Structures are given as C-alpha cells and as structure tokens.
Chains A and B, each alone.
Chain A
Amino acid sequence: MIRYALIVILALGAFITSSAQQSEPQSSAQLARIAEQIRQHRIDVGGDYSMNAKTGRFHIIHADKMLMDCSNCHYGDRYQPDYMAVGRDKPFPEAAKGQYVRSVCLGCHQEGGLATIWYNTSTE
C-alpha cells in the first residue's frame, strides 16, 4: 500500500514538474538550440513547405517547436491602420486568423538573431 502511494506521489510530482517546464517561456539559448537542431534536420518538422496550420513546416516550426503563441503574429480580424501593401478595401481573408505582424519576424530573422537570416541589419 505504501509502495503504491509512493508511486502515485512520484508520478504526480513528475507531471507537475513537466507541466511547469512546458508553461515556462523558453530561454533564448534553448530556442537557439532548437532552431539549430531544426536546421540540422535533427528535429523533424516534416517536408510540407506550406502555410498549412497542421502539416506545413511554417506553423510546425513556429508554433509547435518554438512554442510561439498565435497572438504573437496574428493580431485580429482587420488590417492595421498603417497596413501598407494591400488595399484596405480588399476583404479580410476569412481563412486567416488575422494578418500577421511582420515586425515580429525581425526579432529572430535579422542578422544576429537565432533563426535563419532573411533580413539585414537596419539601414535607418
């Protein structure tokens, strides 16, 4: 009986610890490690180069592996007032959760960031 109680307590402890770890924001070093492992194909993110939310690498990398919250990029159901590329008379795409904020990309994808570099340093 005592042995069973001990097992239950240990299991509960392990569960609480792992839940706490999952909910904690990852450090930059951890994220950089994950990013590098993805680039080296040591973490499987599939072969579907698409924006598909379930099977596409884009969302698997950013949401599943890097644990980015949807609201980090998708901000709502309308264009921002300073949205500068698509006409604001264009209907809002129903398929999207919201137009994403591209400035978020700069955090990791600029020179010196932990992700693959798409952007140079600012020329301002």
Chain B
Amino acid sequence: MTKLVRVIDMERCMGCRACIAACITENYYTPGSRWNEMVEHEVGEYPYTRTVFATMGCMHCEDAPCQRVCDAIGVKAITKNEMGVVLIDYDKCIGCKYCAAVCPYGVPQYNDAVNSPYPDGEPTPYESVPAQDRHPTHRKKPNVVEKCTSCWHKLEPAVKAGKTGLIGKDPRYTPSCDLVCPVSARLFGDLDDAQSEVSKYIGEKKAAQLKKEYGTHPQVYYVLEGGDY
C-alpha cells in the first residue's frame, strides 16, 4: 500500500511563501480561494520575540469529515482516492459549504466567482488555457468549493504509469509546493515505505498531526517546537 503524506518542518520554515507562490501558479489560482495559506504567529515577549510560520493546505484526512458530511447529504462530491488524496468534483458540488463548516482546519474555500488575479490587465497565459485542456481539478467554476489536491494532476500520471515509487522523488510527480522550499522544510512521500525520506523524518523529528482531538487522522505532519503534543 502507498500512503502519501507530507511533513512540514516549522522549525525550518522561514515564511518566504515560495510554496504559496508555487501553488498559485501551478493550480490556476483565482482570488479568494487559495489552496495553500501561510499563517504566522509571534512567540515570546517583547523585545525577545520571533515569528513562527506554518503553511496550511488540505490535510487529506484518513477520516475526512468533509467527505462524511458531503456523503450524508447525498451530494457525494468529495472522494478519497487510492492514494489517499481527497478531491472535490466541481460538477457534483452544490456549493452548500457544509464541508467548509466541518473541516477543523478551515481548508475548503468557497469560490463565488472565478476572477482574474489581474482584473485590469490582459489574461495571464495560464488563464487563457481552455477548460477542456486543463486537468479536471483545474476546471474552476463559480459557486463551488475548492481546495488543495496535493497536485493530483502531477501524481495521477505516476499512478497511471505504475511509477508510484517516484512520487516525492521525481519533480514531475511531486507537488509543486514541496519542490520549491529553499530550506527543505517540506517533504512528500510514502509513509508506508519505512525507508522513505518522509517516514524517517517524521520518526526522527517526532512530527505531529494537528488537532488530533477531532480524530480525523490527517496525512500532513508538522514538526512543532517541543515535539509532538
């Protein structure tokens, strides 16, 4: 089995937001519905303070409440695929925002309009790509909910080609946010492979899942100050 997970080292992250920029350019960003957000908070007391940064995308929970609620109301627009990636089908989504309400991490982003990032300028090259030429996860629509797909459009070819072993190693099959980090604060790979870099990192650094009280079993781990909680 393959269990794709991400680890984000908050002890290393310096808040440069390269991962945010990578996500924006990779995933046909429309204003108001970022798939990857940087949050920061200050620790310590003046004048001895510093900022802690964390990037937040979808946690791709093993027991995803967004999927549960979507199934419960019969919409069934949210699925968790064979690689553990939680995806939203825009054609099925009714825009009820229930998934956004139940997600403990505030991940699903309701997109009420597909606006241009530069409304006063020419459409950017990526905006000009017709919907039918895009991956289904990039066929943006108004009044539906969107979220991080772990760059499924990059992982899917690896799965189809039987190259799942290259996910997280080959840049073609690795989420863009994880590729661009200049301080190697992000890793992506197979947790079920005990020899994978991501497995070792989680074990050695005692990386933790966030908000464990919700019992969602997120597939994104964070290296927190002071270790697991």
A residues near B, CB below 8 A?
49-51, 56, 58, 81-88, 90, 100, 102-103, 105-106, 109-111, 116-124
Contact = CB atoms under 8 A, between A and B. Distances in A.
B106 A86 contact: yes
Interface stretch (B97-105, B119-127, B160-168): B97-105
Which of A49, A85, A111, A116 neighbours the largest number of chain B CB atoms within 10 Å of its CB? A85
Interface stretch (B66-74, B171-179, B186-194): B66-74
A124 to B, nearest CB: 5
A49 B73 contact: yes
A100 B104 CA distance: 11
Contact-size category for B: 35 or more
A88 B214 contact: no
17 contacts: A49-B94, A49-B98, A50-B95, A50-B96, A56-B96, A82-B41, A83-B39, A84-B54, A84-B105, A84-B106, A85-B105, A87-B38, A102-B102, A117-B68, A120-B214, A120-B217, A122-B212
Interface of A is mostly: loop
A72 B72 CA distance: 24
A109 B102 contact: yes
Interface in B30-59: 34, 37-41, 54, 56
Contacts of A103: 213
Contacts, number: 85
A119 B102 CA distance: 9
B215 A121 contact: yes
Contact of A122 (B68, B105, B214): B214
A77 to B, nearest CB: 17
Contacts of B215: 110-111, 119-123
The 5 closest A-B pairs by CB, nearest first: A120-B215, A85-B106, A49-B96, A118-B65, A122-B213
Contacts of A123: 209, 212, 215, 217
A100 B105 CA distance: 12
B216 interface: yes
A120 B102 CA distance: 13
B87 to A, nearest CB: 19
A105 B102 contact: yes
Nearest to B75: A49
Contact of B37 (A86, A109, A117): A86
B9 to A, nearest CB: 16
A46 B191 CA distance: 44
Interface in B71-124: 72-73, 75, 94-98, 101-107
A111 to B, nearest CB: 7
Interface string B183-216: 0000000000000000000000000011011111
